[in-house]
Structure formats: C-alpha cells, structure tokens
Chain A
Amino acid sequence: MLKVSITTVERTVFSSDNVAKITLPTKEGVITVLPNHASLVSALSMGEAIVYTDESPNYMFLDGGVVEINDNTVHILATAAEQAEELDEARIEEARRRAEKILEENPVDVDLAKVETSLQRELMKQKLVRKWQQYK
C-alpha cells in the first residue's frame, strides 16, 4: 500500500495511507505508481490524477507542481489541486464560455496564451467532473 498526500500552499487536499495505486500527469507523460516504485522526483503538468483506494477511484484535478516518490510514500506538491467532488460543473461551464468568448472576439489587449491555458484548465476540470459523475 502507498502513503499518498496531495498538498497545496493553502491546504492538504488529500491524504491517505491506504492507496493501491495512483496515476499522475507528469511533464514526461502519464505515469502510474504502484507499491515498491523506485525513488523518483518528477515535475507535474496540468491534468487528472486518479487515486485508487479500497473503496473507489478518486478523481483529482492537478495544475502543475512536483511529485516525490520514495519508500512507498508519494508526496504531491501541487500548484493547484481540487477533488472532483469539489468541482462545481456550473461554475466551470461559465468560466469555459467566458474564455471561449474572449478567444473568439480576440481583442488585442488580452493575453491570448493566458486565456488559452485557462480554457484548457476549465475543459480539463469539466471532463473530470463528467467522468466522476458517470462513475457515481
């Protein structure tokens, strides 16, 4: 079993001593960590993390950060992290629309790269919510 903690600057988002495996989006691609994994420090990218505990898989939104794996302990230091059940689909939808609209209208004074990242982020969150709801 793995010991997993997911923390952000503000709080501990998830913590459990009883994780069978965990899937993570790293900059090098998606990895799944099983017990007795080699010691590793890796940079994370934006995407979904899936934590498999005894009961059910736990979907999580991660936005960058660093993961440290050592001695069956997984520490995730995320720039931002939210559990799927905390995500509010209506709010995500609204943010997504806003970003899309800005991209369409394409005003000069908006940093398009930023808007695009935020759109991607909201799309990712939405995908996650749908997935989680399906599972439920």
Chain B
Amino acid sequence: MISSLHLAEKKKKKMGKTREIKKRIKSVNNISQVTNAMQLVAASRMKKAQENAEKGKSYSEQIKQIMLKLSLNKTITDDPFIDPAYSQDAQADMIIVFSPQRGLAGALPSNLVRFATKFGNDIASAGRAVQLVTVGQKIRQQLANQPWEFVADFSDMPEQPTTADMRPLIKLIRDSYVNREIHRAYLIYPGFINALTQIPTARLLLPLDLEGLELSHETESLNTEMKSNSVYMFEPTREEIFEELIPAYIETQLYQTRLETIASEYSARMVAMKGATDNAKELKGDLTILYNKSRQAQITQEVAEINAVRSRN
C-alpha cells in the first residue's frame, strides 16, 4: 500500500517535470521569435537611416566646399563663428549628446555614457563648466546625475528630422554661442563604423574649424584646383552669404549626426538581438533533449510498473 502510494507520487512528479520542460520550451521558442523579429526590424531601420544619411551627403559636402571657398584669399576672422577666440572668456562649454531612444542595444549606451562622462569631466578639470543638451532618452538620466548644468532635452526629435524639427536646437546652440555663454560646442554620438562596430565620438561644432573640415578625397582635390585659378563674385556680400550658410551648416551637421546615431542604435540592436536569438535556439535544443529523456524515463517507469503488477498477480 505504502509502496504503491509512493510510486504514484513519484510518477506524478515525473509527469510534472516533463510538462514543466515542455512549457519552458514553448516560452523559449516565443522569445526567440520576438528577438528574431526585432533583429529583422532593426536591420531594415538601420539600412533606411544609412540611406537617408547618404542622400544628404552631397549637401553637406557642398556646403563645406563653399565655406572653404568663401574663406579663401581673404580671411573672415571677424566672423564670430570661425574666430576661435570669439567667446574664450565664456564660463562653459556645451556638449550635445546624441543617444539611442531605447535599450536592448548591447554595450552601446553604457560605452556612450562612459565616454560622455569622461569628456565632460575633462572639460570641467580644464576649468570650464559643462552645459549638457541631450537628444535621445536612453542615457539622459545617467548624464543628468553628473554635476553639470542640464540645459535642454530634445528627445522628441523624430528619427527622420526635418528642418523645422531641428530649428529650436540650432537656435539654442547659436544663441548660446553668439551671446558668449559658451566657448565651444561639441557633438557626442555613437559613431557608425560598420554594422558590428560603433565607437563613441566627439566632434567640435563651434567655433568652426575651417582647416579641420573633413572633406572627401574627391572634394579635396577639387578644392586645391579651385584655390589656384578662380575668382568669385559674391552677392550681396561675402559676409552675408556666410551668415546664410552658418545655420545651414549646423543643420546638416545635426542631421547627419542624428542619422548616424540611429544607424548605430539599430545596428547595435540588430547584433544584440541576433545573439539573443542564437542563445534561445541553443537553449531550446538543450531543453528538447532533456524533454525527450524525461519522457522516455517516464515511459520506462510505467512499463516497469505494469510488469510488476502483472507478475504479482
């Protein structure tokens, strides 16, 4: 009597375990489906952001070219935006940090936090206060905890921003600079190297460093050619055109940075989700083996029990 009760209990336990494993297989399977879908979505969004950045490249190249040409022959150092000493008495530097909107992007957000923190602290130890502007929600809280002045948050900027979406940020940067509240403005963002590699990057936005404008090779050779043999007319004046170009230049920089951040976010997510999908598949394989073993053991036990009962009778 006692032994049969004991057996029944044991049997129940075994069945419970089998059922448990089956449930886990199902949930792991669901997870892998979700992560797989997220991986595919991230891949297509990354591609789109890259394509959009590519579409805007020719504008940003040409604007750099024109600015260089404007500054040739005659230096317009009296323009505040290219005069490195214009606001050197300002108490602060501004950092504009572009970050992902959401998590599930591997080590990207934490790398960016570490980089931005170090960058800000370097500014602080050089004797200037740090004004922080954020675009993107993911790391805004961590950076807000730093002993910096949190000036503004533009996380509602869409993934494909238009001129109108960027205008407030442009105005903020421009005004702070023109009013000599900040000495320099830097962009900090996860630089997109390729789908597997994103490196936190800082770039000087203001004052403009005409020497340091990154030009493609094609533009560069074109430029030396220009230097030698062309004389331009300027209408209305060189200064007025420059005035016109500055906001456009800031805009194209912000636009490209935003798209690069998005491409980085989605490529990091794509890789993270691929890892998660692979892990889930492996786990599913292991669990299936365990499930089969447990089921077999259960059957074996049942056969043994039947035999035992028959031999007793």
Contact = CB atoms under 8 A, between A and B. Distances in A.
A48 B244 CA distance: 19
B217 interface: no
A9 B245 contact: no
A18 interface: no
Contacts of B248: 9, 65-66, 77, 79
B211 interface: no
Given A27-B235, A39-B231, A80-B163, A68 B56 contact: no
Contact of A41 (B56, B162, B163, B232): B232
B55 interface: yes
B66 A9 contact: no
Contacts of B232: 39-41, 70
Nearest to B59: A7
B52 A10 contact: yes
B240 interface: yes
B226 interface: yes
Main secondary structure of the interface of A (DSSP, over half): strand
Main secondary structure of the interface of B (DSSP, over half): helix
Interface in B53-83: 55-56, 58-60, 62-63, 65-66, 69-70
Interface residues of A, number: 26
* Most interface-central of B59, B233, B234, B241 (chain A CB within 10 A): B59
Contacts of B60: 9
A64 interface: yes
B241 A10 contact: no
Interface size range on B against A: 20 to 34
Interface string A59-73: 000001110101100
B201 to A, nearest CB: 20
A77 B163 contact: no
Interface string A19-45: 000000011100000000011111100
6 nearest A-B pairs in the assembled complex, by CB-CB distance: A42-B235, A7-B59, A11-B55, A39-B232, A40-B233, A43-B244
Interface of A: 5, 7-12, 26-28, 38-43, 64-66, 68, 70-71, 75, 77, 79-80
